[in-house]
Amino acid sequence: MSGHVHRDDLGSRLGMWLFLVTEMVLFGGLFIGYSYMRYRYPAEFHHGGMELNATLGVINTLVLLTSSLTVVLSIVAVQRAEKQRAMALLSTTLGLGLTFLVIKGFEWSAKFHHGLYPNSAHLATLPPGEQVFFGLYFTMTGLHGVHVIAGLSVLSVMLWWVATDRIRQDRYIHLENSGLYWHLVDVIWIFLLPLFYLAA
């Protein structure tokens, strides 16, 4: 039996990039909104930033940067037909992504414990600028967290596909595109760190 497989990896990557630019516009709009609000409420944003745990923000940055490295290295491993190494690297990425979410969970829990959550009674007593700061903080880090969960779900499928040889040396475009998504999640966090955690 002879089959004819038509494949366009370049078109596939371009399609993924077109999706990613819509994500860039989504977060870009929020970043522009943040810029205006910080310009309008500089003191309140400074004070709001002091409420956040910069150490946890920096640790999460290191975690995500390292997870980006392990994804890109897993692609190199697949290109070199090093299946076990690729699986180990992808598993490390999943572990780091989960670590990021756990740290984020602790951070948000601490805020909730102090009465800082959307529409809380305590938040309503704060100056308008600080309400805006925490509104943007929960919206942007929350939306980013949703993207981390989506990325981890997709990368879990990629790990399964590497294990079952659906992704292999001559066919790894799905892993490349999933990696692109994960890197964009990392890039968004690169901007969130100085905007919120280092704002004070």
Binding site for another protein (CB under 8 A): 1-11, 13-14, 17-18, 21, 24-25, 28-29, 32, 35-36, 39, 46, 54, 58, 61-62, 65-66, 68-69, 71-73, 76, 79, 170, 176, 179-180, 183-184, 186-187, 190-191, 193-195, 198-199
* Beta-carbon-side half-sphere exposure of residue 188 (alpha carbons within 13 Å): 26
Instruction: Assess contact for 110 and 129: CB atoms under 8 A.
Output: no
| Least distance between another protein and beta carbon 121 (Å) | 31
Q: Is 12 or 120 the residue whose CB approaches another protein more closely? A: 12
Q: Is 5 or 121 the residue whose CB approaches another protein more closely? A: 5
Tell me the backbone φ, ψ of residue 171, rounded to 5 degrees: -160, 90
CA 118 – CA 61 distance, rounded (Å) = 24
| Least distance between another protein and beta carbon 103 (Å) | 16
| Least distance between another protein and beta carbon 61 (Å) | 6
Q: Which amino acid is at 96?
A: L
Q: Is 47 or 120 the residue whose CB approaches another protein more closely? A: 47
| Least distance between another protein and beta carbon 125 (Å) | 26
Q: Is 67 or 104 the residue whose CB approaches another protein more closely? A: 67
Instruction: Assess contact for 173 and 114: CB atoms under 8 A.
Output: no
Nearest to 189 by CA among 70, 71, 57, 91: 57
Q: Is 3 or 121 the residue whose CB approaches another protein more closely? A: 3
CA distances from residue 113 to 57, 95, 106, 122, 179 in whole angstroms, order as listed: 18, 27, 10, 11, 35
